[in-house]
Structure 1
Amino acid sequence: MPPRHGTAPVRRRYDVVVVGAGTAGSVLAARLSEDPDRDVLVVDAGPLPRGPAGFGPALLDGLLVPGAQPNHPATSAHPVRLTPTRPWLVPRGRVLGGSSTVNGGYFVRARREDFDRWAAAGNPAWSYERVLPFLRALENDLDHGDGPLHGDRGPMRIRRGRPDHPAAAAFRDAAHALGFPDDPDKNDQAPPGFGPVPSNVIDGVRRNAGLSYLPPEVLDRPNLTALGGRTARRVVVENGRATGVVVEHGGRRFALDAGTVVLSAGALVTPHLLQLSGIGPRADLERVGIPVVRDAPAVGSGFSDHPQVVLEWAPRDVWREPSGSWLGGCLHLTSTGGTLAGTGSGGGPGDLEILQSLVPLSHLVTGGAVTAGGPLPFLVSAVAPRRTGRLRIRSADPTTPLSIDYGYLGSREDQGRLRDGVRVTAALLESPPFAGVAHGPLGPGPEVLDHDDALDQWIREHLGTAQHTCGTVPMGPADEPRHAAVDQFGRVHGVRGLRVADTSILPDAPHRGPAATAVLIGEVIARAIRNDPSEPCPRDPR
């Protein structure tokens, strides 16, 4: 049978329709189509390039972050409010590989504490011991190879940067000078500290999940159809069972029939699709005139993300452009509520992240040439799992954006964490190892750093987000509808034949960026579908 990549859909019923060819969706499409008797369709609103040439060098350049560039054609922008007075636009990937194509290539596992917290919330399949085999199987760790904690045969190639850039070396030495421990492998669950960033940027090329799981030879499988430019509008539910998806293409809408529908459209689009399909909080659906298929109050009621601020500093010298990746070192540490003096990492998994960029912020935002000698940024994030966000549907018209409130800085604890992060970053820049290469932070100054109220105001005025949204369709037991909308394998409670497989299902955001966890979600749920006797073609030959 000739390949059907990018062609019009055959008018028949697919065994599985995956909505979204992003980070998790790419994994699902690849793994499910490994069973030759299962007919799989994956649809995406964006283009589905074939191989690296189809993406083009700019989209895969490890020195660029396309998602940081406003209005980039490979992204869609979602208007949100970080605080009641802080509007923001959150970009999400709209291309094969999704946000793994437009992010920075950061590929750090969630912490053991995250997995065990999710397991304790009624999701035992997500304990660290249960997911570790999947984490090993999905990666090809070019630094550590095969072993008890790492794998060398998976689709995702992972490498850590070397401190061979003067700024990276200064960060390392400054962290040591302030007493922070080494953390050489941030994927091995050792105590938090300073170390290189595991990344899926290899030799300067971002190897996103689409390239890794859906190369041309996989897209050409006769039982896999991949269609770009198709925007999903709602799930068709009949008699309590999902039977297909309505998509729009070229101004026309039509239904794609499915035995199973899996929503992998991302943590902002997936809950919107559920609500448009009548699955969400009853009051919100009735308010906009959508017939209620399933009252699911947990959809959109308490998501989480990581608030972030950027501190820039001025190098004393003009350095060469970094090789390979924009990522420098990374420090994880534990906050003490706004009074941290800057020594040691503290206990626990580390609820602060100080991430170094080796290229100027202007380069990340515009994609233009690297400015020699320009200021370099640190990205400071509070990464504690906090369910402060809420999203609500505003209209039955699918083109009307959701109302999305992140709820950042709503407590003294939230403000204290970022205060700690800013003060530690300033202390690093003022330490002797950094003083030799830097003029110090460009802001805030001592008149702000030394006063909590002034620093809180500076943070409010400079607040951004790490774009790590999780928990908009959280997993958990069916008897806790206010806290869980799907089970631990993504099955939507009360609707047969419908699953969710993206970071929507995480009960809250992990203590690290969720890119690696998004790939893991695709692997775990694909295995669950393949082993479920109620699914079409349940064999799992692996």
Structure 2
Amino acid sequence: MARTASDVLAGGWDDIVVGAGSAGSVLAARLTEQNGRRVLLIEAGTEPAPQSGPPGSPVLTGANWDHAASVGDTAPGTGRQYPYLVGKVLGGSSAVNGAIALRGLPADFDGWAAAGNPGWSWPHVLPYFRRLESDADHPAGALHGTDGPLPIRRPAPDRLSATATAFLAGCRAVGLPARPDLNDGGTGAGPIPANLAGRHRVSAADAYLEPVRGRDGLAVLDRCEVTRVLVVGGRATGVELLLDGRLHQVAADRVTLCAGAIGTPLLLQRSGIGAADRSVALGLPVTADLPGVGGNLIDHPLVPVWSAAAPGVCGDDDPWHEAMARVATTGGEADVNLLLVANVRGAAIPGIGAVLGGDAGISVGALLLAPRSRGTVELTHADPKAAPAIRLGLGTDPDDLARLMNGVRLAWSVVRSAPFAPVVSRTFLWTERMVDDDALLRRAVANFVSPTWHAAGTARMGTAGDPGAVVDERLNVHGVAGLRVADASVMPTIVRAPTNLTCIMLAERAAEWMR
């Protein structure tokens, strides 16, 4: 419903949702299905620009928070730095990511349940995964939904690019089985399910928010940054926000943070919700002493094997992401994805443009699914404009390094396989000797590891007796009534998939509890 800024700022909202991303768009749309519910959705970004580039290619400029992160375990701002780009746009990271629509695995959610969150086991979450999707490729059975808001499609075998066809053949050549539906939880190689309609990305905002923008009770305020949550007597009463250079306070009965695993802990910390000693050091009031805020930062580490495409292999419109393999490198549960990224041009990936020159790039990367390494995200100053300190800690656990080494060796074997070798003209940075020698490979993995911008875990759920927990299993912030978190921050452990689809599921569940 169209409203003036003065109408919005007057308050009286039932709910304020902070962040119109993968979770916030869903939550606002679902809550306003209830007649009379008044919901204000606040987004720091605005409408995304028209899509350009190959289908599924990420948007790395103009629609992102331009954070920088320390990749390893060094102090923030030191050691190897990497851009940490998350969505600052309606749709959030679902509007700028690779449009990969993979679920977490059943064992991921059973692990959440075993960690003190019994309502998050696989049988509890499957109905919400089905609710969110319209999967026309596998309509039969109890695993998939067919009438949800989000379209999910896989490329048909006869529509795959030459690169993806060669990759799947290379996977078969090294002994990996075919897996036509990578959302069934099994291992093997197959086409990537994507949230695309034709060749166009469908973000959470496209699927959920856009159809209801005129709904009574819903207001969307963009180009507006929330600076803190207002808390009085242990209860959230609204938010403070920065609009057109001025601070305003807006009242609501409930506040839900959907600002992502970087934005949400920073907003909590600015509100005095976090480690008490850190709040005092920054000159902030101690609203709730929750030392877990900003800790437990998890991302999927990726080590790519980059090659230049052979002449004529990559068409201008070939998608970036068409195929991958989920593998168990140690014989147990799946622990690595082999992710094919094709038709990469120019400076689309940090540090790669100069290496490729004018060639199209192809990567077969080893992506670690269940990393043990952890990082942190912290305020550096009470000023909301101050850059945060992000330490990813990628590859700091020895087991992570060992499994990434296994993954790189498998990726290398696919790249060198008879079906795949003809689609590349040369491979960069890697040699047979590096891959064969443990010491050289360990050093290379540590040097080449990069984030995938799948931040999670920084306001994780757990029981009130768990010193690292920030929210309970119904996503209520411990010690602050009327305040919830519903985004990737709450994941106790990261799912073995890109986080977008799981964030949408989280919001579907939260909306049901909040009705």
TM-score range, shorter chain: over 0.9
Change (3 A) 1:181 1:200: same
Please state whether the residue corresponding to 1:147 is helix, strand or coil: coil
Gaps in structure 2 of 5+ consecutive residues: none
Pairwise mapping of residues 459-498 of structure 1 onto structure 2 (< 5 A)? 459-480=445-466, 482-498=467-483
Superposed CA deviations along residues 343-389 of structure 1, whole A, max 9, x for unmatched, are xxx331x1111111221253634999x99863312232111142511
Q: CA deviation at 1:439?
A: 4.1
Q: CA deviation at 1:324?
A: 6.5
Structure 1: how far apart are the matches of 2:390 and 2:290? Answer: 18
Structure 2: how far apart are the matches of 1:63 and 1:133? Answer: 27
Q: CA deviation at 1:415?
A: 1.2
Structure 1: how far apart are the matches of 2:121 and 2:142? Answer: 16
Please state whether the residue corresponding to 2:312 is helix, strand or coil: coil
Pairwise mapping of residues 446-457 of structure 1 onto structure 2 (< 5 A)? 446-457=432-443
1:187 matched residue in structure 2: 183
Change (3 A) 1:208 1:438: same
1:199 matched residue in structure 2: 194
Q: CA deviation at 1:242?
A: 0.2
Q: CA deviation at 1:55?
A: 3.9
Structure 2: how far apart are the matches of 1:139 and 1:527? Answer: 17
CA contact (8 A) 2:346 2:358 kept: no
Shifted more, 162-171 versus 30-39: the winner is 162-171
Pairwise mapping of residues 10-409 of structure 1 onto structure 2 (< 5 A)? 10-47=9-46, 49=47, 55-58=49-52, 62-66=55-59, 69=60, 72-83=61-72, 84=74, 85-145=79-139, 147-163=141-157, 164-190=160-186, 192-215=187-210, 217-321=211-315, 325-336=319-330, 346-348=331-333, 350-362=334-346, 364-365=348-349, 374-409=360-395
Superposed CA deviations along residues 131-166 of structure 1, whole A, max 9, x for unmatched, are 111110100002112530001110110001234221
CA contact (8 A) 2:9 2:250 kept: no
Gaps in structure 1 of 5+ consecutive residues: 337-345, 531-542
Structure 2: how far apart are the matches of 1:372 and 1:403? Answer: 35
Change (3 A) 1:443 1:254: same
Change (3 A) 1:292 1:226: same
1:535 matched residue in structure 2: none
Q: CA deviation at 1:408?
A: 1.6
Q: CA deviation at 1:471?
A: 0.6
CA RMSD of aligned residues (A): 2.1
Structure 1: how far apart are the matches of 2:359 and 2:62? Answer: 29
Change (3 A) 1:63 1:99: closer
Q: CA deviation at 1:3?
A: 2.6
Q: CA deviation at 1:62?
A: 1.7
CA contact (8 A) 2:224 2:243 kept: yes
Superposed CA deviations along residues 397-455 of structure 1, whole A, max 9, x for unmatched, are 12222222111222321211221121111111111212343346333102211212212
Structure 2: how far apart are the matches of 1:433 and 1:99? Answer: 34
CA contact (8 A) 1:4 1:222 kept: no
Q: Aligned partner of 1:186: which letter?
A: L
Q: Aligned partner of 2:410: which letter?
A: V
CA contact (8 A) 1:5 1:227 kept: no
Change (3 A) 1:88 1:5: farther
Q: Aligned partner of 1:460: which letter?
A: A
Normalised TM-score (structure 1): 0.89
Aligned length, in residue pairs: 505
Q: CA deviation at 1:504?
A: 0.2
Please state whether the residue corresponding to 1:332 is helix, strand or coil: strand
Structure 1: how far apart are the matches of 2:339 and 2:257? Answer: 31
Structure 2: how far apart are the matches of 1:73 and 1:464? Answer: 22
CA contact (8 A) 2:372 2:399 kept: no
Structure 2: how far apart are the matches of 1:371 and 1:150? Answer: 43
Percent identical among aligned pairs is 36
Q: CA deviation at 1:19?
A: 0.5
Q: 1:500 aligns with which of 476, 479, 485?
A: 485
Structure 2: how far apart are the matches of 1:108 and 1:207? Answer: 14
Please state whether the residue corresponding to 1:377 is helix, strand or coil: strand
Normalised TM-score (structure 2): 0.93
